[in-house]
Structures are given as structure tokens and as C-alpha cells.
Structure 1
């Protein structure tokens, strides 16, 4: 037995305990060595129509599960679609109001339908959506739903990017909890899954906080993204298809986790709804560049169909989780490849409320009663 040297006298385990230990180790190894199939959507929502988008999402969930996937990922604000008009004009009262009405409340019948679909098909769902709060503010939000249909995590994008701030509010300290353990049953066991949205992948401290939570699978959510048009491209290269994939690949290298790079599609119909013909985003049909990235940063999947970014579908990949462990033998930036005695990250996970009730301390209350 390869463990006999380590378990020899004076630290010898009883034979029964030794056998149980070996059995547990073999079971863990078998679970890790069993590839888990994941699905990454590259699809167009029904823009500004929550009910129809929910129906389409449920169809994609069923399709992915039918093809053997145990987890499906959706893109940033897939419900009810990314508001790309913000990159064409700074104010659009009509579309913004319509957007708020079609944003998804977390505690709602619509969210219940997504949870029910996850449970029915025994598949984990990582959902990107625009969240409507009780006061009608909207947030760029993410949810992880278990194969049992439970909402394991809900978070908001900590800081919306540039023009996104004309519509969306900020997250809080509670949204730094962006990794959860998902139970995939006896075949795959429990796996840590996390997510960030779009340009959150440019923020070193936010990424380090995410990586420190030990995720094995990371979902990198993006809106429809257009390819660069060359060195004279009017926008930022980091906002193009090539730039965003570069950020996701960098995250994979830094985290040594599998990254599901998920983008959505905007067809001519979507362009007409969003009125983005003259904007920096969604000005032409396309946007779809979904892929799966390995824990060493390499792209593992090919583009859908003929490679056209307007192609809708689902990207599939089988993830060998032992490769995560192997890669972390070289790079573990929150473990052996770190120097917390020199550099460390401080985190405040407490949400800050708008209204805080001030109650008198017991002694103050007694003093007031005596005065009366």
C-alpha cells in the first residue's frame, strides 16, 4: 500500500480505519476523474420581454439537460436582454421604463419557473439577469440555482461599467460572496461554482476575492460583443470579442479554474428593438462568442456553426476536474504561490442599509424613564 510508510508505527491506524480511508480516497479520486458536462449558451433573449425570455430559457435548460449537461450558463443580463442602447445614447426614458417593468424580481413567480426547470431536469443553472428591486431600482445580477431547484446564491455586480450606471445601481459587500458549493449528486459530488460579470474581470482585488473562495468552475458573463475592426476601432479593444475573451482566459490562468465564457446574441430583430444601429454595441447582427476555457488558459471549444457570431446554440464541454488540481500544483495564488506576510486583501462583506433604526441602549432607556 502506498500509504503504509506514512501510517506505520507509532502512527499506525487500525486496519478497519485504514481500509475506510483508502475507500474514501478511491471514491474521491473516482469522482474527480469523472468528467462533468457543462453547457454554455450563445443565444438571443426576447429583448425587453421577460415572459417570452423565461420561456426560451426554460427551453434551453431542457435542451442542455437532454444532451447530458449538468450545468448551464447564461450571459450577463440575459433576462430580459442587455440594454445596449446605453452605448448609443445616454437617455431613453421609454426604453428604460420598459426595461424596469421587464426586469426580474428575485422573489417572483418568474424566478420560480427557472428554479422549477432546474429541479425538473436535475441541472444547475447559472443565470444572468437584470434584477428589479421592490423600489424599482435595477441591478446587474447573477444567480446560481442547484439541480435540486434551490437558489444557492444571488449577487449584484459590484460596480456597473461606465454607461451602465445610467440604469443600474451598485452592489454591496454581500455581493462579494460569489462562490457556492453545488451538489451534483453521487456521480460528481460537490463542486464549487462562482461567477463574475463582464468588466468585473478587470478588477484585481475583486478577482482575488473570488479566487480565494476556491472555485473550480467559474462563469464569466458578458453581453453581446462585437469583434474589433482593427487598430482604429472607435471603442476600447478590451470591450471587443477578442479583449473580453482575453480577460476570461487571464482569469482562468490566475484562478486555475475552468471558465465558461458566456456571451449572448443580438440579431437584426434585437437591433430594431434596442434601436442600436448607430451605437458602439449591437450595431450589427452578432455578439455570440461563447466558449469554454481550461484551467491553464487555453480555449477548449470551437465556435458554433460556421463561426458566425450571430449563430445561436449551446457550447458543450466535458470538464476533467483533476486538471484543476494538477494546474494548482504549479499556480495557487491564494496558497503556495502567495506571500500574505507581504501582501493581503481586506474585505468588508457587510451590506450597508439605506435606513438604520437607532434604538436607545438599556441604560439610556432607564435614565429617560427616571427623568419622566
Structure 2
């Protein structure tokens, strides 16, 4: 194990109309964080491909407007294929720096889009992904539902790395599955910039006795093209997501952030011995688990695209 080490969360804006440029920007921020000593770097939800904040995709209950179909076609064109140039750009930066990166993307799989997190190992390239299991509210219109086959953790020299996206963090069974897999570096890419998000992250850190690294975009209306429908307003300076990225220790202490001031990179020193010290009096999957009473069953099989008869 390499410890202590430095970790970083990157608070930055997507370029929703230029996916490759966003990937290049992301790679530059990865290089910057690594140059400042970071070995693990976490990026926001839907960074590459974009989070369409404030858009309705023309879908009142019981009908779909033509402009909504056009909006979805535009959004679909901005998503990425996992064998595409954007992933190559990220993998090259990870290889160059030796850092482990966790990056939120919009993944294209045929006509269906997924809100996905990519795991990039500096020595191995793209090593895995997690598709968001349950898109929130209107997100269900534009993103497919992930399944249990993409809920991995990665045992690295830094620690056990896993990721849970945005409001998946309010799914107790999913959190417990991550704890059961031994996660010690719990990554939470998000689009939630509300004041209630940091207490959620502190709760998870305390519950799982894990380091929590959460990254959110800081993005204004100007970053979106003129075609974008915004229920938040169209003034170029309108803040669409205000950040709030943070790093929390395994006893709930905030080590970095939250930051609402603009694009930035936050750093914290990680000592995994703190995880063991924290579990002295509470271990959710150990001496506090009560397996004689409770049992968690997780189906990690991939679901077929077409129902089997």
C-alpha cells in the first residue's frame, strides 16, 4: 500500500457542445492535479457529454414535442463511445501521470445513453465502469438504467476504490454493497450542489468509515449553446451548477471544501490507517453487521437487452 498519499477532486465545467474539447480539458486537469502530487483524481458526474441542467426535452406527461426529439438527438451526438477518442485522451493522461482517475461521462450504447463513471488506471488504462442504477426524476427520460454488473471496486496500491453517482448515494443497499466490497476510497461524482449534499457525504463517511471524495461541476449558462433549454434562465452569467466539491475523512471531518467559488482543484492527504482507527468502534459490515438478523442479496449479473422468453 502507498500511504499516506495525496488525492484530488476537480471542480470544473463541461463544454456540452464540444465533447472532445471537454476530454482534452479533463486530461489537462488530471495532469495538473498529478503534477501537484495527486495519485487519485475524481471528476464530476456527466462531465464528458454534459449534464443538461434545466432542460425538459419537450416531454409533458402523455406527449413528446418535436423540439424535444431534436434536443435528445443533439444530446445523443455529444455522448461518447467507450472505444472512442475521448477515452483515449483520458487514458493517455492517466498513463503519463500514473494517476488513477474517476471520470463521469455520458456513455452511448446504440440509441440508449447511460450516466457512467469510468475508472482509469495509469498502468492499465480503462479498467472498468459503473452505470448509474437509478437516474433521478427527469433523468429517467434521457438515461437508461444500469444493472448489477457494473458495481465494481478496484483494489489498488492506494486502497479500494469505488464510485457511487449522485442520488445513488441515497440507496442504502447500494452503499452497503460498496462497504461489503471493502471500499476505502468512496468516490461520489455528483450534480447535486445543494447545501444538503455535504451532510450526506459526511454521513456516508461515518457510516462506511471510508474516505469520501465528491466532485460537482461549476458551470454557467454561457457554457451551454444557444439551443439549450434552461428553466433556470438564459443570462450568460447564470450559475447552473455551483460546485460544492469536497473530501471527507472516515470520521466525518471535512478535509477539503466545500468550494462554491468557481472552477478549482481541491486536495487532501489520505492515510488509510485512519480507516482502521475509525472502524474501532463501528464497522458496518463487521462487528456491527448482525448477519444473524440481516442479509443483503445483490444480483451482479448483466441484464439482457431483450427479455428472454
Match of 2:220 in 1: 267
The structure in which a higher percent of residues are strand is 2
CA contact (8 A) 1:74 1:221 kept: yes
| TM-score normalised by the chain length of structure 2 | 0.90
Could you say what secondary structure the match of 1:61 adopts? Answer: helix
How many Å apart are 1:87 and its aligned residue? 5.7
- The 5 Å alignment of 1:213-362 reads 213-223=181-191, 225=193, 241-270=194-223, 273=226, 274-278=228-232, 284-285=238-239, 286-304=241-259, 309-355=260-306
Q: TM-score, normalised by structure 1?
A: 0.75
Kept in 1: contact 2:218–2:263 (CA 8 A): yes
What is aligned with 1:72? 41
Unpaired runs of at least 5, structure 1: 1-30, 183-188, 226-240, 359-372
Relative distance call for 1:87 and 1:42 in structure 2 (3 A) is farther
Q: Secondary structure at the match of 2:160?
A: strand
Q: Which has the larger radius of gyration?
A: 1
Name structure 2 gaps, 5 residues minimum. Answer: none
CA shift at 1:335, angstroms? 0.5
Q: Count matched residues.
A: 298
1:213 and 1:268 map into 2 onto residues whose CA distance is: 39
Give 1:198 shift: 0.5
Q: Determine the structure 2 residue equivalent to 1:150.
A: 125
1:203-235, CA deviations, whole angstroms, 9 ceiling, x for partnerless residues? 11111111110011011111162xxxxxxxxxx
2:108 aligns to what?
A: 132
Instruction: Describe the superposition over 1:285-327 as per-residue Cα deviations: whole angstroms up to 9, x where unpaired.
Output: 15211110110112111444xxxx2511101111111111100
CA-CA distance at 1:332 after TM superposition? 0.7
> Does the C-alpha gap of structure 1 residues 158 and 224 become closer, same or farther in structure 2, counting only changes over 3 Å?
closer
Question: Higher helix fraction: Structure 1 or Structure 2?
Answer: 1
Does the alignment pair 1:100 with 2:54? no
**Higher RCO (CA < 8 A, seq sep 6+):** 2
CA distance in 2, matches of 1:157, 1:283: 30
Q: What is the distance in 2 between the residues matched to 1:275 and 1:356? A: 35
User: Matched residue of 1:165: which SS?
Assistant: helix
